[in-house]
Amino acid sequence: MENYKGQFHREDGPAFEDKQGYKSWWINGKRHREDGPAIENSNSKVWMINDKLHREDGPAAEYSDGSKSWYLKDTEYTEQEYKFEMRSRKLKKLLVWKVN
Protein backbone atom coordinates (compact mmCIF):
# COMPACT_ATOMS: atom_id res chain seq x y z
CA MET A 1 0.00 0.00 0.00
CA GLU A 2 1.16 3.52 -0.69
CA ASN A 3 0.34 7.01 0.54
CA TYR A 4 -0.50 9.98 -1.69
CA LYS A 5 3.23 10.61 -2.26
CA GLY A 6 3.73 7.09 -3.62
CA GLN A 7 5.58 5.95 -0.48
CA PHE A 8 4.93 2.63 1.21
CA HIS A 9 2.46 3.34 4.00
CA ARG A 10 0.00 1.38 6.08
CA GLU A 11 -1.00 1.90 9.69
CA ASP A 12 -2.89 -1.35 10.38
CA GLY A 13 -0.59 -4.04 9.02
CA PRO A 14 2.29 -4.70 6.65
CA ALA A 15 2.50 -2.30 3.68
CA PHE A 16 4.32 -4.93 1.64
CA GLU A 17 3.98 -8.73 1.53
CA ASP A 18 5.17 -11.32 -0.95
CA LYS A 19 4.33 -14.97 -1.62
CA GLN A 20 7.46 -16.22 0.17
CA GLY A 21 6.27 -14.77 3.48
CA TYR A 22 8.32 -11.56 3.49
CA LYS A 23 6.43 -8.76 5.26
CA SER A 24 7.45 -5.19 5.98
CA TRP A 25 5.69 -2.41 7.87
CA TRP A 26 6.06 1.16 6.61
CA ILE A 27 4.83 4.60 7.66
CA ASN A 28 5.32 7.45 5.14
CA GLY A 29 8.14 5.67 3.30
CA LYS A 30 10.03 4.62 6.44
CA ARG A 31 10.19 1.11 7.84
CA HIS A 32 8.41 1.47 11.15
CA ARG A 33 6.57 -0.72 13.63
CA GLU A 34 6.16 -0.13 17.35
CA ASP A 35 4.52 -3.41 18.40
CA GLY A 36 6.79 -5.94 16.71
CA PRO A 37 9.38 -6.42 13.98
CA ALA A 38 9.16 -4.06 10.98
CA ILE A 39 10.59 -6.76 8.73
CA GLU A 40 9.67 -10.43 8.95
CA ASN A 41 10.42 -13.41 6.79
CA SER A 42 10.65 -17.12 7.43
CA ASN A 43 14.28 -16.78 8.56
CA SER A 44 14.67 -13.46 10.34
CA LYS A 45 13.05 -10.54 12.15
CA VAL A 46 14.21 -6.93 12.26
CA TRP A 47 12.80 -4.21 14.55
CA MET A 48 12.84 -0.63 13.24
CA ILE A 49 11.42 2.73 14.28
CA ASN A 50 11.45 5.55 11.68
CA ASP A 51 13.79 3.53 9.43
CA LYS A 52 16.33 3.05 12.25
CA LEU A 53 17.24 -0.25 13.85
CA HIS A 54 15.82 -0.01 17.36
CA ARG A 55 14.43 -2.27 20.07
CA GLU A 56 14.25 -1.72 23.82
CA ASP A 57 13.14 -5.21 24.91
CA GLY A 58 15.63 -7.46 23.13
CA PRO A 59 17.79 -7.75 20.03
CA ALA A 60 16.78 -5.54 17.08
CA ALA A 61 17.69 -8.28 14.61
CA GLU A 62 17.32 -12.04 14.86
CA TYR A 63 18.77 -14.09 11.99
CA SER A 64 18.14 -17.60 10.67
CA ASP A 65 21.51 -18.85 11.92
CA GLY A 66 20.56 -17.89 15.48
CA SER A 67 22.74 -14.80 15.62
CA LYS A 68 21.36 -11.56 17.04
CA SER A 69 22.22 -7.87 16.91
CA TRP A 70 21.32 -5.19 19.47
CA TYR A 71 20.55 -1.62 18.39
CA LEU A 72 19.12 1.53 19.91
CA LYS A 73 18.35 4.38 17.51
CA ASP A 74 20.56 2.79 14.80
CA THR A 75 23.57 2.49 17.13
CA GLU A 76 24.89 -1.04 17.48
CA TYR A 77 25.74 -2.46 20.91
CA THR A 78 27.22 -5.72 22.07
CA GLU A 79 24.77 -7.74 24.12
CA GLN A 80 26.57 -6.70 27.33
CA GLU A 81 26.62 -3.02 26.35
CA TYR A 82 22.93 -3.19 25.45
CA LYS A 83 21.95 -4.74 28.78
CA PHE A 84 24.01 -2.15 30.66
CA GLU A 85 22.42 0.70 28.67
CA MET A 86 18.90 -0.58 29.31
CA ARG A 87 19.58 -0.97 33.05
CA SER A 88 20.98 2.58 33.11
CA ARG A 89 17.87 3.93 31.39
CA LYS A 90 15.57 2.16 33.84
CA LEU A 91 17.57 3.49 36.79
CA LYS A 92 17.41 7.05 35.41
CA LYS A 93 13.62 6.75 35.06
CA LEU A 94 13.33 5.53 38.65
CA LEU A 95 15.51 8.35 39.95
CA VAL A 96 13.54 10.99 38.05
CA TRP A 97 10.26 9.50 39.29
CA LYS A 98 11.43 9.52 42.93
CA VAL A 99 12.71 13.11 42.68
CA ASN A 100 9.42 14.36 41.26
pLDDT tens digits, residue range 13-36?
A: 999 999 999 999 999 999 999 999
| Domain spans in the chain, listed from the N-terminal domain onward | 16-99
d(CA 79, CA 56): 12
Q: Which residues pair with 8 in a beta bridge?
A: 2
Q: Which residues of the chain have pLDDT under 70?
A: 2, 97-100
Give the per-residue pLDDT at 17.
96
The count of residues in the chain is: 100
The pLDDT of residue 3 is 73
First to last CA, the chain: 45
Q: For residues 100 and 98, what is the distance between their CA atoms, to the nearest angstrom?
A: 6
Q: What is the pTM of this model?
A: 0.86
